[in-house]
Structure formats: structure tokens, C-alpha cells
Structure 1
Amino acid sequence: MNNRRIAVVTGASSGIGAATARRLAAEGFEVICAARRRDRIEALAAEIGGRALACDVTVDADVDRLAQQAGPQLAVLVNNAGGAFRQEPVAVADLTAWQAMFDVNVLGAARVTQALLPALIAAQGVIVFVTSTAADAPYEGGAGYNAAKAGERSLVGALRLELFDQPVRITEIAPGMVRTDEFALVRYDGDQAKADAVYAGVPEPLVADDIADAIAWMATRPSHVNIDRLTIRPRAQAAQHKVHRIGQ
């Protein structure tokens, strides 16, 4: 009989999500790897002894299937699915990109949380929301992403207050500058030069495994310990707007 605790990681096909799935598996969890790209999550699930489920967090039917897969008790939910799409001034911003960011970062996280909350409470589990330091302060061209991540943070705060008397922990990790294969590339519509410029000259930006390590630590604290919010940046990034770049 399989008695391993179950964890769900959304957006598990790459970057922070994939790294987190690996870390939680190493901690002994059976990880349900949920993402849209079936081929990637099937390979990941085979690697870590987990389960793959094709899931778009903006689609009700997909999230219903995720809840069915998770079952009646769920130890960990990592709401990692998200993303930044484009970086433009408000005056000329593509608002369809803003809508997409809100749909996945805010409504997607809310949809998954609603569906899995009964199982999390039953297991006295923990929810980890992956937000961003973009929720801390606005920056030029980032209004859509700033608003989406600030919205997700508000969701976290309200949920923590609403569930204060329930046996479930509500936690948030806010990463700063993390270099992954896809985040900046997606933001700039596949423009590799623009994506590379984000990290140009930055000595040792964070990588996905740095965030996954922190998430696994948050998820494995004793049940009475709630990590309300953990902000994590590379040493080179003193604040959202202040980054040390060598030779620049």
C-alpha cells in the first residue's frame, strides 16, 4: 500500500515548478506534476516516481481532474503556475496580455486552491503561493505583472485571515531575480537578446533550485509553524530596482 504523502505542483513543466517537484520527491512526497505540456511532465514524473497530469489552471474541467487525482487528503499544494507576458508602458500596453497574466496568476491560483482546499484541510496540509518581488513595488513597463502578482498576494493574505482557525497553513514565497530557461524569454515573446539582457553582468542570479530548496523547507516545517512570507533574492539584488552588474 502506498502511504506516501501527496504533493501537487502546478506549472511543473519547467523552471521553479520542475525543480520544486524534484525537491519534494526527494523529501519523500509523491508529487503530482501538473502543467499544460504533457510530454515534459510525463518525463519529469517518470524521473521522480510521481504522477503527471495535463492541467491548465485557467480551465475548470482541468482543475476538477486535478482535485480527483489528489484525492481526499493532500499534504502540499505549490501554486507555482504563472508568468509575465510582455513589458510595456501602460499607455501602449497590450491589455490582452494583462488579462492572461491575471487569469493564470490570480484566478488560476484561486481556482486550484478552491478545488484542493478540502483535501488540504483534511491532511492538515500547507499551500505555498509563488508570487514575486514584483508585488512589492511597481516598475516601468511592469504594471500588468505588478498588478497580477500584487493581486495574488492579496489572495494569500485574505485566505490566511479566513482560515486562521483551520488546520492548514497558508504561505508565500516571493522570488526576486531568478534565471530560468523560459521566464524572461516568454516575457519578451522569444527575443533571446532581450531575455539575456535582464541578467547581463549580474553575478550569480538565483536559479530555480534555490527557490525549490526554500519551498521544500517551507513545506516541511512542523504543522504549527507558518512561514507567512519569504522574500528571496540573489545577493547582487539589493532591491527590485537596485542590481549590481559587473562591467556596467
Structure 2
Amino acid sequence: MVCTFGDATDVLWWRQQKLPLRQIIGRNGRLMPITFGAPGWESLDATAAQGFYAGLMSKTVKQARNAMVELLRREDGAARPGMGVPLRGEPKPLQRDVKFFEKGDQPLEFISTRQWFVRLMDKKEQLLRFGDRVKWHPEHMGSRYRNWTENLQLDWCISRQRYFGMKLAANAATLAGFERVREDVLSATRCQSAELVEKADLADGTFEIAEFELAPAAEKEKTPEPAEA
């Protein structure tokens, strides 16, 4: 079965089963160039697959869907010669639950990208202990916090790709193409190292608030107090 990532469960299964990732939709919402026969894109007839895909490349998802229907109406669109036209009958509309952009009318497509995460899954017990030390107002918020923490399934993704907001800053050392993030760095203000890298990504709203609140405190820490006369 071939499908897109619909929710976190699909991602979990993909990781557990160690399935190959074959991404065809780019960040611009159009079908990306693909070379059939290359590793990860094996095909029984790479030349034929490449020829069919050439008519889909650079199209939007909706345009590619319509183009695929037309390909399936052609007799040479069959997997094997002599099998006849692949499409038996006309496509029928169906209804399914999909996610939409909050200010748009087009369904979202999930794509795989590199993101920044804060580890939470290995700190759930610690978070629960801290929550028990808080005097909650109203009291039922304590139960809500506990339920939220106990049901965490993924680490906290702190990076966002938006048009406005605070840029994510990290102190990173680039080694052989990999970035090792130092755990003691939370914001650009707290570290004046030459290794400081300003990322194009923006910070998650909650993490953004944390950066904003920590910045003045860090600025005060590095400013020497005036000596008494």
C-alpha cells in the first residue's frame, strides 16, 4: 500500500517497520523530479515509469491526480502489455477526513522535513513530579496537565516554517553534515559563541515565549553591576 502521512500514527508505523521514504511532493506543493531505477526508486520497467512520471512532474497534487486518471484511460498505461485499459469505469467522488490550513480552503499534504526537537519522552516522570509540586488554579488543570503528560507520544517539535515570528537560534557545531545541539543553549542572547547559527526556521509559539522571557534575564546576567564607590 502506498499512502501519504495522514497523522502521527502513520509516522509511528513508518518508523517501527523501517519502511523506505519515497517523497514525491516538494515544499512548493508540486511533484518533484524522480529518477526511477535509482536506489529507493526500483522499478520493473524504469524507462516506462520515467516516461509516465514525466507527465506528472512539476504539477500540483490536484493537477497530477487528473493527469493520472487520463493515463489510466490509456491502454499503454497498463502494468503489462495486453492487459487492456487499467481504468475500469469512471472515478467516483468519495469523502474522507483531511486536515486544512487554518486560513485556507485546500487540504494539507504532509511532507518529510528536517526539524528541531526538544526531548520529552525520556522526561515524562520528571515532568509529572514537577506538576505535582504546582498549586493549580483551578484544581482540575492539574489533572489536565497529568493526562497531557502521560499521553505524550512524541518529542516536542520547536521549529516552525511560518512567514513571521522569532527566528530559532541554536549554538550548533556542524560535523560531517550533522548538527550537534548543545543542551545548555536556549537562545542567541544566552550565548555569544562564534559557533552561533541563526536558523531560517521560526520558533514554536510556546518556545518562542520562553525565548522572549529568558532573553532579558540573560542580558542582565552578562551585564556587570556598577561597583560601589
State the TM-score bracket (shorter-chain normalisation): under 0.3
How high is the TM-score relative to the length of structure 1?
0.23
Larger radius of gyration: 2
Higher relative contact order (CA 8 A, sep 6+): 1
Give the structure with the larger helix fraction.
1
Give the structure with the larger strand fraction.
1
How high is the TM-score relative to the length of structure 2?
0.24
